[in-house]
Amino acid sequence: MRLHIVSDGHADIEYNDWTPPALDPDVVVICAGDMLAPATLALPWMRKHYPDSRIIYVPGNHDYYSFWNRKKPDAGTKTSWEEQKERAPIIASMLGIHFLDDAEVAIDGVRILGGTLWTDFSCRPPYLDFRSAARTAERSMNDYKAIKTGRGRSRDRINVGRTIDAHRATVNFLERKLCETFDGDTIVVTHHPATPNSLLDWNPERPTAFRDLDFCYASATLDRLFSGEGLGGSFVPPSIWVHGHVHKSRDYVIENTRVIANPRGYPLLRAPKAPRENPDFDPRFVIELEPRPTPGFRF
């Protein structure tokens, strides 16, 4: 199976729209979210630009963003967390896209598990306790301003309690599924990384030397999803773990799992042909998934 991995296109940002190059129709597109906000607009964008491909889409944080477009009041950008949870899977189904929000799909004998995996705020500097980190996040991160709940009014903002609950739901889903017997390879797709190793300035010599807002970008308590420690004897690690959110390309191995990110990210300036914050983004990035050998008896 050949896989095109992509995320964080952010085509709604000024001077950041783009046209992906054509792919062979047999290549499966795996998108780790944030291609255009919100998800109900991102999904038609994906189908338009990958017309013949099988598409996996996992929602990112921007897939829930709501904003009022004065020039285009009917643009579909004013929304809520609940509306995206309800409507995005319906639109995806109509477009033939596999929308994985704590869900799974099997393609050509490969199981793909997907969920946003909001962070648990564990990548904190030592001077921040959880409550302080939560207050900092709600004050500093656009997620807690741009994602609306309920009636979608300016004061109806999502809070840390809601994203922590969503984090736990995704972790529970992944733990359960990774311990189920499956005869084939498993790919996990999340928007947020499941390991601090993907953080922008992560240093293997100082693995817990986190910066101020690192806790909003990755989690540091999920080693068991790679090793299976404490999860039971039937655990099989994912062959590949795809993520986005951190706007830097990643390709490394943890335990027996290859971790990959290919995010497009933002322009450094809001101007035509501006330099990119991730110059390593590859719009033609395709990998080959080699079948994992079936375990045999040991004598």
Q: Which DSSP string do the residues of 70-86 spell out, in sequence order?
A: SS-TTSS----HHHHHH
Q: How confident is the model at residue 93 (pLDDT cuts 50, 70, 90)?
A: very high
Which pLDDT value is given to residue 154?
A: 81
What average pLDDT does range 175-182 have in this prediction? Answer: 95
225-234 per-position pLDDT tens digit: 999 998 877 8
103-130 per-position pLDDT tens digit: 999 999 999 999 999 999 999 999 999 9
Hey, what amino acid is at 97? I
What average pLDDT does range 6-25 have in this prediction? Answer: 95
What is the domain-level CATH number for residue 93?
A: 3.60.21
Q: Match 């709501």 to its residue by tokens.
A: 66
Which pLDDT value is given to residue 54?
A: 98
Q: Report yes or no: 31 and 56 within 8 Å, Cβ to Cβ.
A: yes
Q: Is the pTM of this model over 0.85?
A: yes
Tokens of 294: 């079936």
For the ranges 35-44, 169-178, 223-232, 260-269, the lowest mean pLDDT is seen at 223-232
The answer, yes or no, to whether residue 292 has pLDDT greater than 70, is no
Q: Report yes or no: 191 and 32 within 8 Å, Cβ to Cβ.
A: yes
Which pLDDT value is given to residue 291?
A: 67
Question: What percent of the chain has a predicted confidence (pLDDT) above 90?
Answer: 83
Asked whether residue 86 is assigned to any structural domain, the reply reads yes
* Structural domains counted in the chain: 1
7 Cβ contact partners less than 8 Å away, ≥ 6 residues apart: 31, 32, 33, 34, 35, 60, 191, 242, 243, 244, 245, 261, 262, 263, 264
Which pLDDT value is given to residue 261?
A: 99
Asked whether residue 129 is assigned to any structural domain, the reply reads yes
- The mean pLDDT of the chain is 93
Asked whether residue 295 is assigned to any structural domain, the reply reads no
Which pLDDT value is given to residue 295?
A: 46
Asked whether residue 293 is assigned to any structural domain, the reply reads no
The answer, yes or no, to whether residue 238 has pLDDT greater than 80, is yes
Domain that holds residue 60: 2-288
For the ranges 40-49, 186-195, 267-276, 288-297, the lowest mean pLDDT is seen at 288-297
Which pLDDT value is given to residue 234?
A: 86
Which pLDDT value is given to residue 293?
A: 55
For the ranges 18-27, 66-75, 79-88, 249-258, the lowest mean pLDDT is seen at 66-75
Q: How confident is the model at residue 290 (pLDDT cuts 50, 70, 90)?
A: confident
Rounded Cα–Cα distance for residues 38 and 147 (Å): 10
Tell me how far CA of residue 100 lies from CA of 59, 90, 240, in angstroms. 8, 12, 16
Asked whether residue 196 is assigned to any structural domain, the reply reads yes
Asked whether residue 294 is assigned to any structural domain, the reply reads no
Asked whether residue 299 is assigned to any structural domain, the reply reads no
The answer, yes or no, to whether residue 24 has pLDDT greater than 80, is yes
Asked whether residue 298 is assigned to any structural domain, the reply reads no
